[in-house]
Amino acid sequence: MQTQSHALIGAYFFGQRDAVLMTVASLAGMAPDVPMFVTVAMLRLQGHSARQIFGHDYFQPWWQHINGVSHSLILWPIALLFALAARRLAPAARWPAIMLAAAAAGLAHACVDFLCHREDAHMHFWPLSAWKFVSPVSYYDAAHFGVPVMIFEAMLGLFMAWHLLRAARRRWSRGLIALVSLPYLATLVLLAIAPARAAPDTANREGAAAQAPAPDGTTTDMVPLGRFGTGTRGWAVVPLNKAIPPTRYVAGRKDGVPAIEAYADHSQALFAREVDLAIDQTPILCWRWWIAGVIDRADIRTKKGDDQAARVLVGLRLPRDTLSLGTRVKLSLGRARFGKLLPDGALNYVWDNKARQGTILPNAYTDRARMIVLQSGNGQAGQWVSERRDLAADMQGQFGTRAGRISLIALSTDTDNTGGVAHAAYADLHLVRRGSPCRFQP
């Protein structure tokens, strides 16, 4: 929830219609977010952009530990127990009531955040555990009930603000309550006009579609897959193990190139797009990638070393007659565990630390994925490198058929096995005809 919502919850539910208690409870309701505001201010003064702060810095262990302490579901309950004990020992004193209001408001903040944070979830039980509850509900992400949650928060906020406004006796407190109500009104107005704005946009898109056969840029000799200068529609972060922190993927510009930047820190996840494409007409995959440096401890041959600074994965749907019964059973079991995106086979183009260019090996975890080393070492680290690969030829060489289809395109920068850090960027993924040049954006 928004910080002012936590303040209103504290004042409304724990203020007991007492001016001092309402003030204390509102401040305590905001307290868990204060370290975040201080940290953001310090990073901004150091020249960090908002994209870097919330796309990378926020997910660093030091900041996650701070969030874990300020939102602790260990410390806040302890504070509440102390307050209850103090009230019992000194029922006539004023200070136990103040302690109780503060502890209850802070604990309410931690509990609410526990229930409505997803990728930005906190380590609520740190330092006993680094576990995070990735909630199915987000307070802002429309893909995870964000719209109804925002409406609920706005309505609840206005309800609490109205009742607190009626109880307030001083002008400055009434003015402050009215001020914090404005974001709720703005939220409701923006959500109300969004459908009205969407209707003309939809009509315009349909009209454009009637005039042009491929408004996404697809032509008879070029199929765009990841032109990130126009957004990331269709792409999503796909964690493979929810117990491992996900790699952060942030859209922006890297050295002037529209790209997806990946930041891995003891983390792992794909940035993936589900597709269904034949490759007989456009079998050549083109892209550009960039790394800050290779992962020194990586070893493409072992599970413990199965990390890459940069990897482009092409998932394939293969003809049924090319899959043995045993393979089909394994794939069915794998999809039951990892989801429907698991392909029949995968071509992994990797930037490795030490394997020679041209090395082709089965993945350390499964022979249904082949690791193809295109770049190795730090010789070209820190600069954009262009790639061009014949998918049809690679599919034939690795899986014995040219009749498959592309079911998935994914990017991966992961360091969960080696426990290191990595920074990479990806741009301009597209398919072209054999013999046609790659079409990299300027």
Residue 331 has pLDDT above 90, yes or no: no
Do residues 440 and 300 make contact, with C-beta atoms less than 8 angstroms apart? no
Residue 118 has pLDDT above 80, yes or no: no
What is the SS3 assignment for 232?
A: coil
Whole-number Cα distances in Å, 46 to 39, 50, 52, 58, 421: 11, 12, 12, 15, 22
Do residues 36 and 89 make contact, with C-beta atoms less than 8 angstroms apart? no
Q: What is the pLDDT of residue 240?
A: 82
What is the SS3 assignment for 407?
A: strand
Q: What is the largest CA-CA distance in the chain?
A: 87
Picking from 78-87, 172-181, 369-378, which range would have the lowest pLDDT averaged per residue? 172-181
Within 10 A of 22 (CB to CB), how many other CB atoms are there?
24
E strands, 51-135, in order: none
Q: What is the pLDDT of residue 205?
A: 40
φ, ψ (nearest 5 deg) of residue 134:
-85, 100
The CB-side HSE value for 327 (13 A sphere, CA atoms) comes to 16
| Cβ within 8 Å of residue 262, ≥6 positions away | 247, 248, 249, 271, 310, 411, 412, 413, 422, 423, 424, 425, 426
Within 10 A of 47 (CB to CB), how many other CB atoms are there?
7
**DSSP assignment of 354-365:** SSPTT-EEE-SS
- Using one digit for the tens of pLDDT, what is the confidence trace for 6-16? 999 999 999 98
Picking from 100-109, 141-150, 223-232, 290-299, which range would have the lowest pLDDT averaged per residue? 141-150
Structure tokens at 294: 């290779």
d(C-alpha 13, C-alpha 266), whole Å: 40
Burial group, residue 432, by CB count within 10 angstroms (0-12, 13-18, 19+): buried
Residue-level length of the chain: 442
Q: What is the pLDDT of residue 393?
A: 93
d(C-alpha 203, C-alpha 212), whole Å: 14
Q: What is the pLDDT of residue 282?
A: 92
Look over the chain and give the mean of its residue pLDDT values, rounded to a whole number: 87
Structure tokens at 359: 């090395």
301: β partners: none
Mean pLDDT of 31-44: 93
Q: What is the pLDDT of residue 30?
A: 96
Q: What angle do CA 52, 416, 113 make, to 5 degrees?
A: 55
What is the SS3 assignment for 370?
A: strand
Mean pLDDT of 240-255: 89
Q: What is the pLDDT of residue 55?
A: 66
251: β partners: 260
Do residues 234 and 256 make contact, with C-beta atoms less than 8 angstroms apart? no
Query: What radius of gyration, in Å, describes the C-alpha atoms of the chain?
Result: 26
Angle between helices 171-211 and 3-14 (to 10 degrees): 140
| Cβ within 8 Å of residue 245, ≥6 positions away | 59, 132, 265, 266, 267, 268
Do residues 256 and 229 make contact, with C-beta atoms less than 8 angstroms apart? no
- Using one digit for the tens of pLDDT, what is the confidence trace for 252-310? 999 999 999 999 999 999 999 989 898 888 999 999 999 999 999 999 999 999 999 99
- Using one digit for the tens of pLDDT, what is the confidence trace for 159-208? 999 999 888 888 888 888 889 889 899 888 887 876 554 444 433 443 33
Q: What is the pLDDT of residue 26?
A: 95
Bond preceding residue 442 cis, omega within 30 of 0: no
Confidence band of 243 (pLDDT split at 50, 70, 90): confident
d(C-alpha 140, C-alpha 386), whole Å: 37
Closest CA to 83 of 69, 72, 98, 70: 98
**DSSP assignment of 294-359:** --TT--TTSSTT---SEEEEEEEE--GGGS-HHHHHHHHHHHHHH-TT--SEEEEEEEESSSPTT-
Q: What is the pLDDT of residue 202?
A: 39
Q: Please give the helix or strand (H or E) that residue 70 lies within, else none.
A: helix 61-70
Q: What is the pLDDT of residue 338?
A: 62
Within 10 A of 188 (CB to CB), how many other CB atoms are there?
15
Q: What is the pLDDT of residue 231?
A: 83
| Cβ within 8 Å of residue 151, ≥6 positions away | 187, 188, 191
Q: What is the pLDDT of residue 17?
A: 87
Mean pLDDT of 35-62: 83
Say which residue the tokens 């942030």 belong to. Answer: 250
Per the confidence metrics, is the pTM higher than 0.75? no
Distinct helix (H) and strand (E) counts, the chain: 11, 13
